Structure 1
Amino acid sequence: MWQLKTIQFAKCSVHSIIFRRLSVSDFKLSTNRDSKQFSVKENESFMANIFRRSLVPKQVFPYPDVLSLEQKESTCSLIGPFERFFSEINDAAQSDESGKVDEKILSALWELGAFALQVPPNFGGLGLNNTQYGRLCEIVGANDLGLGITIGAHQSIGFKGILLYGTPEQKEKYLPKVSTEHVYAAFALTEPSSGSDAGSIRSRAVKSDDKKYYVLNGSKIWISNGGIADIMTVFAQTELVDLKTGEKKDKVTAFIVERSFGGVTNGPPEKKMGIKASNTAEVYFEDVKIPIENILGKEGDGFKVAMNILNNGRFGMGATLSGTMKKCIEIATSHANNRVQFGQKLKNYGSIQEKLAQMSILQYATESMAFTISQNMDNGSQDYHLEAAISKIYASESAWYVCDEAIQILGGMGFMVEAGLERVLRDLRIFRIFEGTNDILRLFIALTGIQYAGSHLKELQSAFKNPSANLGLIFKEASKRAASKVGLGGCDLSSHVAPELQPYAKKTEECIDLFGQSVEVLLLRYNKNIVNEQFILNLLANAAIDIYSMVVTQSRSSRALNLNLPTAQHEVYLTKALTIQASERAMKNITTATSRRHQNLTEKFSIIARTVCEKDGVYSTGVIEV
């Protein structure tokens, strides 16, 4: 445990700043072993840095534009064939009704290269980067989410581990199979006892005496492509020996498992609310002999492998669902333009206009997030995990809202199967659950950002041990806090946005500055116990999500203005409206997070929930009982 004792900064020209006691022993901090001086690994993530009241604009300003002319042309050459496939070959309604995708449809997808979009050409793939991949995901999302799961489970997570962690030999052996030989892949992590808690898995792999293979036993549930995949990325507990202490510990290891190894079976396809066209099944492993060379990554690094696979693919969900929202808006707009009620077309009514505007705002922000992240990844960034989590939450919740509102605009027609929206709504429900439930991801966002902020506070404490050598850091932090105390603000976005958007950037600045102050207050108030304050963490996460939506849309619409694009003024209106709404929500959530009065409400929530659980449901007197 370390503590930041009460320290009074040297007086600056404004006034002195006082730090209180702080304890964050649970935070994992980076140290420089070559120096006694404490150091923190710098992070280029815009969102990570606002947790410590710092503006690092590199990833969001200017709006990234990484595709070369050749890449843009090659992507455009794929868009036509993909759109024709969905208009002429695929039948989403029929696949949904039958609960599976026809083999002819799947064969046509293989011929398109849709199952190997990001595999390098030398292994049989198309070699697309993340941004190109995201653009095609939009087309899939606009047409068939059930089929999209089959495609995504195969490449976004199924064999993604081989792309990220595979040895040259593993890539040479497996990537051609999953690219050109019609061999499906799956990602097998979830178990009956471990949903969001991936570290609690019970499947076990035991190393043979000759150390040539592992023997795997266990089962996995709800595995997309589980009934059709012949190659799987599987995670299991393995026993490792600590080389320093000799102590034996269980740690998760990732394996590449072939069905041909023997002992791999699966249950029947699950009956689901939506994405019925995709195959979801339980998978069983009984004495499966896995060659030692099929370890993916390092022994004991399975949890890291799993999380990085999921983090790496999350932007694709945002791109996919932005396409879904586009389609819903098109259907709703067509109806509003043609349907006449009470002597007027629906488009003339304010309530319908509000719905269409709100739907468009959410689609614009979702798309802006997805392609900001993908282009940062294509630029080589490794610091995008907070943004990817935000994108997944925002996209999945916005798409549900947009589809629901599209149904509302169509009225009774929207409720009918023929309109196609009821299938989309059913398909959308899973997106708030899989690849990290939104509830867990909100905690991930808040705690990851707080950890980074806490690391820098410890750096500051270390600096005070030798103040003469660290005056620059000390006065920089003191000035930043002093400036925010008197309303000078801790960040400036005005130079990064178009002049027309500067008043709106100012609203975002105020949110960012108050956000950073509040994180620090909460760290000081709760110390390491902040990890237990989930009501507060959710408020911080929601504020962070709104802040990111403001920043990416301001950046993207500024780009449109600078390039004089025909859509520029419309994009500006979308951004302005979003900023007004998001800044109000963010300020409310930030203020509530530090409010003592809110604690009274959360205590009531806890008491109510405990009673409901104790009574196994609703606990109140019946209205006609005496």
Structure 2
Amino acid sequence: MGIKCSNTAEVYFENTPIPLENVIGGIGNGFKVAMAILNNGRFGMGAALSGTMRTVITKATEHATQRVQFGSRIDSYGAIQEKLARMSMIHYATESMAYMVSGTMDRGYDDYQLEAAISKIFASEAAWYVTDEGIQVLGGNGYMKSLGLEKVMRDLRIFRIFEGTNDILRLFVALTGIQYAGGHLKELQKAVKDPISNFGVLLDQVSKRAKGGLGIGPGNSLADKVHANLVDSAGQVCTGVDMFGGAVEKLLIKHGKGIINEQFLLSRLADVTIDLYSMTCVLSRCSKSLNEGLESAHHEEMMTKVWCNEAFERINRNLNMLKNPTNLENFKIMAKISEGVCERVSPVQGNPLGV
């Protein structure tokens, strides 16, 4: 479909001897080497696709500021303004993630596979959205080969598939978060069995749950880490993290190890994690711009605040789906719908005209 310059082919190794001196990373460590390569590839996507989006946004705005319809330039109309604003915000978030992951790598951290996976998922879907909207702004011209965006769209489609499909990576992101929470719950279970020697652990949990019950929440622990203009947005991150932790604990108590098979739920947890990370990245970058007094700082502040507001709404919506009876029932019904289609190996419904 796209990336025609990529020499894609199947390669077979049958009874192929490997000299000992050519073994990379030592015998038995091939998976670690492969994962290290994938992590670098996933990070590279976030960086490369940020550049793609920048080009698409430039082409779309060039057209919008020159095209006149009904007596006005089309960039003065709300529908186009919303498209350009959302394209810009999602590009800013993608770019901020790429800088954050590269900073983590440059500081010498080896364990950044979760951040790289999130960056890959987000960037590949963001670039598709931005390009699709860019073509829409360009109208019929965007569909033509002459402007080049139709080729960009074909080339982009693979990014949601290779280096790990986004569907599988979402499960990886969700299960990584659950693994941490599961360890935390095991610690608490041990404390309950021996309350005398583990009184501190129990007291800490009672305190947290009492505050949550009173609606006090975790507080804004990031308030002194961001620019003063972004304190409210930082508070949304803290609240989101606390809500996420509570939701994961409840799911683990309900499903136990069986949570690994609850992919409807895991997908929503992954999306919450991705939104929390994106909020953290834009807050960090925007704080730096505001502190340094960059010319773009005010513009970045507007994008950051709107992004965090909308991301927080998505977090609430996704976490509510985990406990909403209607949504949970819908998930069960959708599983049955899928079973019906697979049994028939085609859509189940017939022609209402009886032809």
Please indicate the TM-score interval, normalised by the length of the shorter structure.
Answer: over 0.9
> What's the TM-score once normalised by structure 2's chain length?
0.96
Percent identity over the alignment is: 54
Residue-pair matches, total: 354
In structure 2, do the counterparts of structure 1 residues 303 and 596 end up closer, same or farther at CA, with 3 Å as the change threshold? farther
Deviation, 1:297, is 2.0
Report what 1:413 is aligned to: 141
Report what 2:113 is aligned to: 385
Which of the residues 578, 589, 600 maps onto 2:329?
A: 600
Range moving further from structure 2, 364-373 or 465-474: 465-474
Report the AA paired with residue 242 of structure 2.
Answer: D
CA RMSD of aligned residues (A): 1.5
Matched, 1:282 2:18: no
Distance 2:213 2:49 in 1: 41
Q: Secondary structure in 2 aligned to 1:496? A: coil
Provide Cα deviations, 1:347-379, integer angstroms capped at 9, x if missing partner.
111111100000000000001111101101111
> What's the TM-score once normalised by structure 1's chain length?
0.55
Deviation, 1:465, is 4.5
Which of the residues 615, 618, 624 maps onto 2:344?
A: 615
State how 1:46-57 maps to structure 2 within 5 Å.
none
Report the AA paired with residue 565 of structure 1.
Answer: L
Report the AA paired with residue 433 of structure 1.
Answer: I
Distance 2:176 2:242 in 1: 18
- Kept in 2, the 8 Å contact 1:494–1:506? The answer is yes
Provide Cα deviations, 1:421-448, integer angstroms capped at 9, x if missing partner.
0010000000000001000000000111
Report what 2:201 is aligned to: 473
Gapped regions of structure 2 (runs ≥ 5)? none
Report what 1:71 is aligned to: none
Report the AA paired with residue 359 of structure 1.
Answer: M
Range moving further from structure 2, 588-597 or 305-314: 305-314
Distance 1:288 1:482 in 2: 63
- Kept in 2, the 8 Å contact 1:557–1:575? The answer is yes
Provide Cα deviations, 1:83-130, integer angstroms capped at 9, x if missing partner.
xxxxxxxxxxxxxxxxxxxxxxxxxxxxxxxxxxxxxxxxxxxxxxxx
Report what 1:329 is aligned to: 57
Distance 1:277 1:346 in 2: 36
- Kept in 2, the 8 Å contact 1:522–1:594? The answer is no
Provide Cα deviations, 1:48-107, integer angstroms capped at 9, x if missing partner.
xxxxxxxxxxxxxxxxxxxxxxxxxxxxxxxxxxxxxxxxxxxxxxxxxxxxxxxxxxxx
Distance 1:417 1:573 in 2: 35
Report what 2:319 is aligned to: 590
Distance 1:397 1:422 in 2: 16
Distance 1:284 1:495 in 2: 56
Distance 2:46 2:206 in 1: 39
Deviation, 1:549, is 1.3
Q: Which has the larger radius of gyration?
A: 1
Which of the residues 234, 238, 259 maps onto 1:505?
A: 234
Report the AA paired with residue 364 of structure 1.
Answer: Y
- Kept in 1, the 8 Å contact 2:321–2:328? The answer is no
Report what 2:248 is aligned to: 519
State how 1:133-152 maps to structure 2 within 5 Å.
none
Matched, 1:350 2:103: no
Which of the residues 275, 280, 291 maps onto 1:562?
A: 291
Deviation, 1:279, is 1.2
Q: Secondary structure in 1 aligned to 2:15? A: strand
Deviation, 1:606, is 0.5
State how 1:25-64 maps to structure 2 within 5 Å.
none
Matched, 1:395 2:127: no
Matched, 1:375 2:103: yes
Deviation, 1:508, is 2.5
Which of the residues 187, 199, 203 maps onto 1:459?
A: 187
- Kept in 2, the 8 Å contact 1:368–1:553? The answer is yes
Matched, 1:292 2:36: no
Distance 2:55 2:105 in 1: 27
Report the AA paired with residue 349 of structure 2.
Answer: S
Matched, 1:313 2:41: yes
Report what 2:31 is aligned to: 303
Distance 2:155 2:146 in 1: 16
Deviation, 1:498, is 1.6
Report the AA paired with residue 536 of structure 1.
Answer: L
Distance 2:236 2:309 in 1: 8
Q: Secondary structure in 2 aligned to 1:284? A: coil
Deviation, 1:499, is 1.7
Q: Secondary structure in 1 aligned to 2:10? A: strand
Distance 2:32 2:192 in 1: 35
- Kept in 1, the 8 Å contact 2:219–2:235? The answer is no
Report what 2:259 is aligned to: 530
Q: Secondary structure in 1 aligned to 2:322? A: helix
Deviation, 1:311, is 2.0
Report what 2:215 is aligned to: 487
Report what 2:89 is aligned to: 361
- Kept in 2, the 8 Å contact 1:393–1:441? The answer is yes
Report what 1:547 is aligned to: 276
Deviation, 1:277, is 1.4
- Kept in 2, the 8 Å contact 1:372–1:552? The answer is yes
Deviation, 1:466, is 4.3
Deviation, 1:462, is 2.7
Report the AA paired with residue 537 of structure 1.
Answer: L
Deviation, 1:586, is 0.8
Distance 1:535 1:286 in 2: 40
Report the AA paired with residue 94 of structure 2.
Answer: T
Report what 1:243 is aligned to: none
Report the AA paired with residue 398 of structure 1.
Answer: A
Report the AA paired with residue 53 of structure 2.
Answer: M
Distance 1:491 1:615 in 2: 53
Provide Cα deviations, 1:243-270, integer angstroms capped at 9, x if missing partner.
xxxxxxxxxxxxxxxxxxxxxxxxxxxx
Q: Secondary structure in 2 aligned to 1:338? A: coil
Distance 1:552 1:491 in 2: 20
